[in-house]
Amino acid sequence: MRRVETVRAGEFDLVGTCHEPDDNGPEKPRGIGFLFFNAGHVPREGHAGMIARIGDELANLGFPVFRFDLPGLGDSQGDLPVGLDDFFQIVHDGAYSEPAVALAKEVIARNGLSGLVLGGLCGGAATALFVADEAPEIVAGLVELEAEFLKPGSEDPEKLSSKLTSRASWLRLLTGHSRYRIGKLLPRGLLLRLFGRRLLPKRTNMRLVNIWQRIVEVELPVMVIMAGGRVRETFYDEVKQVLFGKADCPSVTVLSVPHTNHIFTTGNAPRLILRGVTDWATNHFARQ
């Protein structure tokens, strides 16, 4: 069952949709819920309604799910910059973190939850990271769709990597994403540890990179969903190797979705993501 509700978050009235599990009566104690933020400037249902479909599937498993429009987006009040790049810049600067934290705390208080799994696509994934850093006590996990560690701008890591002298080129070489290969005698792991952060592009949002490092180090359960073989997936892996090397991060589950786009509207992406998120949620948070 879905219902629309309004929550006062700081100075904003935010409008959202709650996916209420049928078996979760008001007198029954609750555990973990899910809260999804806007995918960039798109309203709360997500591209082609994907976030709404995730909400329905998770509610069928017994999880209360909330999708809210942040200030100025969808049905929620607030002002936005005129330019799209300006909008994404304020998202990357953490402009939504304060109302998002207030929203998350109010959702928990209203619904008697012990914590929330936060999620979103692209800009929504960035906002979820900011909230997890600012209010870790209320965050039980993260669902990061197309995790974005690059600020808006004209510097394209993929194009720069074609220049042998560029930092992006050396970063791809050391992380195994270049079409060139280096000899086995070259200590790739050591070079990454020594110089990896210096090789990250100027557009890298180092604040988000540092937050990501702290989240992985405390082993917060995270699901990362990326469009396979595309720029963001490559850069995510480069950041991961700079921070943690080649080894897998035990608390991070990565789903690479083949033959799709940034917003997961092509191929079998919706079906694969629905199954991946519900399986991950069941394994980590079933009826807590």
Q: How far is residue 29 from each of residues 19, 64, 252, 280, measured CA to CA in Å?
A: 17, 12, 28, 22
Residue type, 212: W
Q: What is the pLDDT of residue 27?
A: 41
Where exactly are the structural domains of the chain? 2-153+205-285, 154-202
Provide the β-strand partners of residue 18: 3, 66
pLDDT in tens, the chain (288 residues): 899 999 999 899 999 999 999 764 444 445 999 999 998 889 899 999 999 999 999 999 999 999 999 999 999 999 989 888 899 999 999 999 999 999 999 999 999 999 999 999 999 999 999 999 999 999 999 999 999 999 887 555 555 445 545 777 878 777 877 776 665 656 767 777 777 788 888 889 999 999 999 999 999 999 999 999 999 999 999 999 999 988 889 999 999 999 999 999 999 999 999 999 999 999 999 754
Q: What is the pLDDT of residue 155?
A: 53
H and E: helices and strands count for the chain: 10, 8
CATH 3.30.470.20 fits 2-153+205-285, yes or no: no
Q: How far is CA 22 from the centre of its chain?
A: 28
Q: What is the pLDDT of residue 181?
A: 67
Do the Cβ atoms of 41 and 259 come closer than 8 Å? no
For tokens 């999620």, the residue is 119
Backbone conformation region of residue 10, classed left if phi is above 0, alpha if psi is from -120 to 50, else beta:
left
The full DSSP string for 28-52 is S---EEEEE--STTS-TT-GGGHHH
